[in-house]
Structure 1
């Protein structure tokens, strides 16, 4: 019997989309699917490092200022040729998905359009549906960007099924960006975060402590988990490592840099440029410090870990995510322009002493009950039968 084929198009901005899709791809292969994959940018690199054969696509991105702040003007400038780039992506995808009985898009509009033009069923995985812009100085530009974003939402709506990899209410992380139109509600389902392993699936804590050289009788473990697009990831890493070095006498501090380089030795820190299984370090940690991308927050909370969140400045989704988690008492928002030794030290102390851990564990209990990966696989099987 010939293997069923599925094509998976992955958003390449940051690591979050690629990291959750790796889990889906592995599970599909285990069930006998032949899988082709396409991406660009950071996502392409992540998939390659995960041992997945990935096909390249023309790159799209948003604009960033030197201080790692989202720039509306630069975003528009960078994407003046977006219609042409979109057509290029669609042409590539139409070629890549030939022979597939199913198309899966992780947030990729061009993958959806190529799938529908090829008359294939399309399953879309995403964690936001509405794009909000935090840029009060330029209202006309905001209107333009949000109008363009609405077009992307209309394309997502062409999917046969939409799975939102976020927690159901009241624990939805990206709730400000997940206002689903009523006409699409019947095809939208909240699955919870897609992760490869839960704490009980990983080695015991004592074994992991030996692996990473942590003292079972030492102080609390603080994990700095560098995520997000490459420039923003590097910018925050350069800011925070000297601060963490000053905190190393009080805590056991581990940093994983997402493929980056620390630049110089840092006393008292355990620094890993890359970790194949970051969930092991999340399991060991008492507090996770990170950007506030939805996937990173969702995974940390699925392990019951409280957060100190440093959103990319002017990044509306990350700001909304951080506000949502903070409102539920599972983490603290620390603006990048306020980051210093005193503010970070105070934030760590507050998270360790408060009820943040208890609130984070509520997300963990919910994640275990949802079984999101099985829901994705079931939806894929159901749609493939319609082809």
Structure 2
């Protein structure tokens, strides 16, 4: 054991399978753990597992079934769909809890970092819950209250809660990360989690479109861009957000299409683009802010937290946003050229912060 390592040698990191954002934002934390001398084991399935294996080929990855949340096209549809899926999700949470207790013994796990996976708590070792959503935004007040109660009931089973945002007034996620009442366990603010840091390079693309998030909405937005990008003035890059796919798309002479870009290549592509068009998922927002990138955000329809976040950032002058239904690439992309973008001062998570965070989080 290294000095100051809190009797911890092996750390399990497991992100939720809702889009790729939970996996990408764990990357800075995994790097920090490795830098600080810990052995890291990952747990995921599907696209998240593929992404993590690409970023960390040297680390052990255990298969762990995801929540596989089915997505709906409308607000009512999503509320109804989530309520229908609650019994199945409860079973998944129970199963992953049993899985964890087994894995703690077989792999000598000393600490668990769970990004929004509610069942990964244990009496055997310290378990830290990572979320930016202490308030779960829902389309209806009664549903929000119900989800809030369920959320805290689970979070309070963990040792501590880490929130990827800045503490105090100058935060990014607003009510999502700074509710009136926080959980009973220690809550610590990490600063923003980003794989990237600011820096200027020569521009190659006028627009970079980043697709992400759950189906069918990813494909619906993709189809819109496939129709509209060929008539946009300027060079465009379309990143489909499909790691593991080998499909090849050709949609026009000035449009480059790629299925997925690993971290360093994605960072280069974003730097080389004048403007980025993406969902307003929180992980994407953190990375665009870290790069001080001019963004046009299109919230996933029905995903209330994304709508809230996009509107909050637009009113602060940080970005412009459009609804998916109203957005038209040829008509609306020129708006970005006249918008006066304003970027706030940021605190980014750094590996040197890890020992202090662990000290504050773990029982002495």
Output the TM-score relative to the length of structure 2. 0.85
When residues 168 and 306 of structure 1 are mapped into structure 2, their CA distance, relative to the original with a 3 A threshold, is farther
Gap regions ≥5 residues in structure 2 = 3-7
Q: Secondary structure at the match of 1:325?
A: helix
1:64 pairs with one of 65, 71, 74: 71
Q: Is the 8 A contact 2:32 2:350 kept in 1?
A: no
Alignment-derived partner of residue 104 in structure 1: 113
Alignment-derived partner of residue 240 in structure 2: 257
1:274 pairs with one of 260, 277, 290: 260
When residues 131 and 170 of structure 1 are mapped into structure 2, their CA distance, relative to the original with a 3 A threshold, is same
Alignment-derived partner of residue 28 in structure 2: 23
What is the distance in 1 between the residues matched to 2:100 and 2:283? 25
Aligned length in residues: 350
Deviation at 1:187, TM superposition (A): 2.3
Output the TM-score relative to the length of structure 1. 0.81
Deviation at 1:227, TM superposition (A): 1.8
Alignment-derived partner of residue 139 in structure 1: none
When residues 53 and 67 of structure 1 are mapped into structure 2, their CA distance, relative to the original with a 3 A threshold, is farther
In the alignment, structure 1 residue 378 sits paired with structure 2 residue 356: yes
When residues 11 and 92 of structure 1 are mapped into structure 2, their CA distance, relative to the original with a 3 A threshold, is same
What is the distance in 2 between the residues matched to 1:175 and 1:61? 27
1:53 pairs with one of 50, 54, 60: 60
Deviation at 1:176, TM superposition (A): 3.1
When residues 294 and 11 of structure 1 are mapped into structure 2, their CA distance, relative to the original with a 3 A threshold, is same
Q: Is the 8 A contact 2:230 2:255 kept in 1?
A: yes
Q: Secondary structure at the match of 2:87?
A: coil
CA RMSD of aligned residues (A): 2.8
Q: Is the 8 A contact 2:208 2:238 kept in 1?
A: yes
Q: Is the 8 A contact 2:298 2:324 kept in 1?
A: yes
Deviation at 1:254, TM superposition (A): 1.3
Q: Is the 8 A contact 1:124 1:156 kept in 2?
A: yes
Alignment-derived partner of residue 11 in structure 2: 6
Q: Is the 8 A contact 2:210 2:240 kept in 1?
A: yes
Q: Is the 8 A contact 1:133 1:316 kept in 2?
A: yes
| Higher percent of residues as helix | 1
When residues 315 and 70 of structure 1 are mapped into structure 2, their CA distance, relative to the original with a 3 A threshold, is farther
Q: Is the 8 A contact 1:193 1:372 kept in 2?
A: no
Q: Secondary structure at the match of 2:60?
A: coil
What is the distance in 2 between the residues matched to 1:354 and 1:181? 33
When residues 284 and 377 of structure 1 are mapped into structure 2, their CA distance, relative to the original with a 3 A threshold, is farther
Deviation at 1:143, TM superposition (A): 3.2
Q: Is the 8 A contact 1:13 1:42 kept in 2?
A: no
Deviation at 1:65, TM superposition (A): 3.1
Larger mean CA deviation between 61-70 and 280-289 belongs to 61-70
Deviation at 1:109, TM superposition (A): 1.1
Q: Is the 8 A contact 1:36 1:54 kept in 2?
A: yes
What is the distance in 2 between the residues matched to 1:123 and 1:60? 19
2:297 pairs with one of 302, 309, 331: 309
Deviation at 1:234, TM superposition (A): 2.4
Deviation at 1:57, TM superposition (A): 2.2
Q: Secondary structure at the match of 1:110?
A: coil
In the alignment, structure 1 residue 130 sits paired with structure 2 residue 130: no
